[in-house]
Structure 1
Amino acid sequence: MKALLHLRFRFALVMILGVAMTATLVQAGQLLNNNRNAVGGVSINVDGQLTSAPPEVKRQLRQLMLDSMEKVPGDMTMPVKMRKVSLRGLNDAIKASVQNNGGKLPDAVKYMAGLQRIEYVFVDEANNDVVIAGPAEGWTVDESGNVVGVTTGRPVLLLDDFIVAMQTTEEARRGGITCSIDPTAEGRQNLDNYLASLTRMDASVKEGVERAMGSQVITITGVPKDSHFARVLVAADFRMKRIAMHLDQSPVRGLPSYLDMLPSARAVQNAMPRWWLACNYQPLAQSEDGLAWQLRGPGVKAMTEDEIVAEDGSVAQTGKTSAIPQKWADAMTKNYEELSAEDKVFGDLRNVMDMCVIAALLQKEQLLKKANLELDMIQSDSSPVKLEAFPVPDTVPTFFSAMKKGRQWVITASGGVDINSWEVASHTENVAGMDKLRTEQLASATTNVWWWN
């Protein structure tokens, strides 16, 4: 982009979109329409463009969810490090709701007994079952409309997301699950021409940049674009950009914005950094007989690579990484655990990554076959379960942000999400004691229930 170098301004592409958080409730009347078009902070107009939802709409949605939420059953309220969920029992509970309750699922089923991560998988051959396990507690709705644990505030797993992960294992194997938000080549050229026409930097530049760049395109692969799962990918990408670009204050002290890390605009070369979020797991632990598995590691990491924008607006990867963008990516990875506790969308992203890895593991190791278990309500494409469908986000307007460094101005942000679950599931190691742990946990099962502590 030669015009950038003619002036003592340095710009790169600004990619910002509205937040998409958790909302599973559908109500009648006018608020139903609001729920369909303004979910957890994002509003989608008739053209499929994302904007921010007004605060009063978010308050109404939260209240609707709280009013309709069922009381958390009995021992599900208890915070525990290990809650077990029978996939056979979960499948049967869904089937019973379809047959006897018109498909309306109990909250306990929708929120998977309050699980907040899937950490273990145990094959129960004696009972033709596969059991997943992890930390869990009772749930409520936070101020942003997220369904979270009552004590930790961390997001709970959603059955809708688990079903999507289980039904898209082949898509994940073939090409992975991805999300990105990108300007058009025309928008990049328009920006180049606009910047070349500038003679000074003032408040009018903001409107000019946003108008020149125009709408940016949201691309989602591997999962249904109208699913809650897809909304999590988009929202996480959004929040990463907002923090990097100094548009939102980071909730974690150890993660400043990328702009704050830059000592000067000269630190930015012609290449612009791209960040994306990817899986971050240690090799899966397994028992020697392959009937017990543990998901290990923080789950998510930030990656970066430099990109070059050509004069025609096209983008090419360089295969190289600059020091300061890498420093910012490392800071986000290091602080991801704390960040996910403060900003729930990052916890949601780790949850869906966990689910994708578990789905790939079940398929790759044929664990359901070993248990002689068929999950027709969860895994089958012909399942009668109707997933919550949301308006598809197609585009997002450009929002401008810049910071002066010396005599120059600098702003850059690009990114996405990449879930390569099959690669994670392919790295395993035998760990002593896993078989004993499986025996102990399965022995604690209670008759005629689909979950237990």
Structure 2
Amino acid sequence: MSHSVGSSVLQSIRPAAALVVLLGVLSGAAGAQGIAAIQNISSTPFVTGITPIIGSRGAVGGVVVDADGVVGRVEQDELDQLRDRWNQLSDSIDGATNVETGFRVISLAGLDRALSECLDNGKPISPSMAFLAGLRRIEYVFAVPPGDGMQHGDVFLAGPGGPWKANEAGEVVGVADGRAVLRLDDLMDALRRGTLPEGTLREGVPINDRQISCSIEPTAAGLRQFARVQARLRSFNRQAVGAMESAIGPQQVLIRGIDPDSHFAQVLLSADYAMKRLAMGLEAAPIDSLPSYMQLLQQHNDRNQLSSPRWWMASDYEPLRCTTDRLGWQIRGRRIRTLTQDSLLTAEGTRKTLDQENQLAQQWADAMTNRFDELSIALPIFAELSNCFDLAVFGALMAREGLAVRADCQFNVLGDASRLQGPRYRVPTSIPSVASTIRGRRGWIVSVSGGVSIDAWTVAGQTATDDGIAAVRTQAVQGAGQRWWW
């Protein structure tokens, strides 16, 4: 199934024990950290003007990538340095002392002009620009043509926002609720991608369905080798665990629909990673009522679980509301839902999709979905993922509706990668397999998959008319002033 990506394998050797081979699991405290904006050194004004440069590698969500593309973990001292550096800069961040508001408005045309002025005068991009004045969610999009209360055409983004800070892991989050704030580099990537004509080549691959996805998948050779090794094993010990890890080998990382060296792509990968850790119990959930799938298996160890549950995070929006003139838009819904499907790892090392529902896998998926907002506060990487979903929907909406054209405005910097680009990260290509064990009266064969799939183009095409949004749009226009945000 195209949505479910990545794999880990749980194999029983004898009734008293079971093995989990989890793809790309990070060990240690640093692996459990949320997103950390450690950037690669770059000569672009965007990076040098905004981001503390800590170490020689970029990192997101506690994940770093080495020169060979292998995913590893962030060292704790790097996270500490990043947090300290952000704290030193906090007094100079324009907007850091702003009051909290449920209706922060961003003028994209104003932001574009401010960015252009910085670039033209050789000035660094301000942190307020980098973090979109503390905007934490996109709830409204307004196209405002000239003469509609505005001298120049514009497109507004609006949602909750306010002052931000660096948390203990060096993540930039809202002071009011600890949610990760939106980032300029993610906005630019989503906006530029949304304008690509259908069939455009990116990294040699046509974007026909316009979906953005991340997958962590075992190779076909690795699965076949694993099947051969498991068939020969007769005992469960450390050597058996090592043999299975070696058999699966490195997992391949596949990122589609977005530049794989972007921060946006790194968020997808890191969130997928975090979901796997939570599911397999290698990281305890920092909130109540979210047991790992392994705990659910242990609680139901009288069942003979022979299936291979797959989980992935996908778009979950209600139809977008819009005014009759389609200039005012409201983005609604849960944003992200965790889905599951069952499969079986055969003796030949292939996966066979099963028709019956795995109730325990569905229980874990539902718990992940229902507690997602609370989890996003405790682990901001999931709030970052939600922000990326919103930005992808915004980019698709801009393209489908032609909002910039209808507002008679253009984005000379936001839409042009040759003028300004966010920090680039090393492209992840593989993740090592890591194993852990659980105890139980029965044995299981379980293949656990994870991934992220953003179908923003479909979301942007599902709409319902609501002219009540016009009053909110008027409120946004009336608040416009000299600044690019209010």
So what's the TM-score if we normalise by structure 1? Answer: 0.91
Between the aligned partners of 1:403 and 1:50, the Cα distance in structure 2 is: 25
What are the superposed Cα offsets for residues 373-402 of structure 1, whole Å, 9 maximum, x if unpaired?
A: 11121123x541022011111111111123
Q: Distance in 2 between matches of 1:304 and 1:167?
A: 31
Q: For structure 1, which segment, 258-267 or 353-362, has the greater mean C-alpha deviation from structure 2 after superposition?
A: 258-267
Letter in 1 for 2:132: M
Q: What pairs with 1:39-54 in structure 2 (closer than 5 Å)?
A: 41-54=62-75
Q: Deviations over 1:101-124 (max 9, x none)?
A: 25x211110101110011101121
Find 1:93's aligned residue among 114, 126, 129. Answer: 114
Pair 1:156-2:181 in alignment: yes
1:16 and 2:19 correspond:
no
Mapping of 1:84-163 within 5 angstroms? 84-102=105-123, 104-125=124-145, 126=147, 127=150, 128-163=153-188
Give deviations 1:308-343, integer Å, cap 9, x for gaps.
334443335446542221111111111111111111
Letter in 2 for 1:330: D
Q: What does residue 210 of structure 1 align with?
A: 245
Instruction: For residue 264 of structure 1, report the CA deviation from its aligned partner.
Output: 3.9
Q: Structure 1 residues 167 and 22 mapped into 2: Cα distance closer, same or farther (>3 Å)? A: farther
Matched residues in 2 for 1:178 and 1:265: separation?
Answer: 34
Structure 2 partner of 1:305: 341
Q: How does 1:316-327 map to 2 (within 5 A)?
A: 316-318=352-354, 321-327=357-363
8 Å CA contact 2:18–2:440 kept in 1: the answer is: no
Structure 2 counterpart of 1:141, which letter?
Answer: A
- Determine the C-alpha separation between the residues in 2 that align with 1:295 and 1:226: 28
User: Given the alignment of the two structures, is residue 418 of structure 1 paired with residue 453 of structure 2, yes or no?
Assistant: yes
What residue is the counterpart of 1:201 in the other structure?
236
Report the equivalent of 1:185: 220
Q: Distance in 2 between matches of 1:21 and 1:205?
A: 34
Equivalent-residue separation in structure 1 for 2:83 and 2:294 (angstroms)? 34
Contact conserved, 1:115 with 1:134, CA < 8 A, in 2? yes
Task: Summarize the Cα distance change of 1:10–1:316 in structure 2 as closer, same or farther, 3 Å threshold.
Answer: same
Q: Distance in 2 between matches of 1:332 and 1:116?
A: 21
Residues 287 and 96 (structure 1), Cα distance of their counterparts in 2 relative to 1, 3 Å cut: same
Partners of 1:140 and 1:147 within 8 A in 2: yes
Question: Contact conserved, 2:309 with 2:446, CA < 8 A, in 1?
Answer: no
Shifted more, 46-55 versus 367-376: the winner is 46-55
Find the counterpart in structure 2 of residue 167 from structure 1: 192
Select which of 315, 319, 342 maps to 2:351. 315
CA distance in 2, matches of 1:319, 1:343: 33
How many residue pairs get aligned? The number is: 445
Q: Is this contact kept in 2: 1:21–1:40, CA < 8 A?
A: yes
Greater shift in the superposed pair: 61-70 or 324-333: 61-70
**Partner in structure 1 of residue 282 of structure 2:** 247
Preserved CA contact (<8 Å) 1:16 1:242: no
Q: Distance in 2 between matches of 1:358 and 1:39?
A: 23
For the structure 1 residues 162 and 70, does the alpha-carbon distance in structure 2 shift closer, same or farther, using more than 3 Å as the test? Answer: farther
Kept in 1: contact 2:36–2:59 (CA 8 A): no
Checking the alignment, whether the CA contact within 8 Å between 2:58 and 2:65 is kept in structure 1 is: yes
* Amino acid of the structure 2 residue aligned with 1:44: V
C-alpha distance in 2 between matches for 1:329 and 1:40? 21
The Cα shift of 1:440 comes to 2.3
**Does the CA-based 8 Å contact 2:245-2:434 persist in structure 1?**
yes
Identity value in percent: 33
Q: For residues 16-38 of structure 1, what are the alpha-carbon distances to aligned partners after superposition, in whole Å with 9 as ceiling and x for unaligned? A: 3445724155669xx95724255
Q: Which residue of 2 aligns with 1:445?
A: 480
- Shift of the alpha carbon at 1:269? 4.4
Structure 2: segments with no counterpart, 5+ residues: 1-9, 43-51, 199-206
CA contact (8 A) 1:72 1:138 kept: no
CA distance in 2 between counterparts of 1:4 and 1:54 reads 31
Deviation at 1:156? 0.5
2: CA distance, partners of 1:319 / 1:87:
47
SS at match of 1:34: coil
Cα deviation code 1:80-112 (max 9, x no counterpart): 10011101001111111111125x211110101
Shift of 1:138: 1.1
Structure 1 range deviating more: 108-117 or 4-13: 4-13
TM-score between the two structures when normalised by the length of structure 2: 0.85
1:81 and 1:39, CA in 2 relative to 1: closer, same or farther beyond 3 A? Answer: closer
Deviation by residue 1:138-186 (Cα, 9 ceiling, x = unmatched): 1111122211112311100000001111111247763400001111122
2:296 corresponds to which of 254, 261, 272: 261
Match of 2:405 among 365, 369, 385: 369
Distance between the aligned counterparts of 1:155 and 1:33, measured in 2? 20
The answer on whether the counterparts of 2:38 and 2:53 sit within 8 Å (CA) in structure 1 is: no
Contact 1:173 1:421 in 2 (8 A): no
1:278 maps to amino acid: A
Correspondence 1:352 to 2:388: yes
Corresponding position: 1:384 with 2:419? yes
Amino acid at match of 1:413: V
Contact 1:138 1:149 in 2 (8 A): yes
Aligned to 2:433: 398
Cα contact 1:246–1:401 (8 A) shared by 2? no
As a proportion of its length, which structure holds more helix?
1
* C-alpha contact 1:287 1:432 (8 A) present in aligned 2: yes
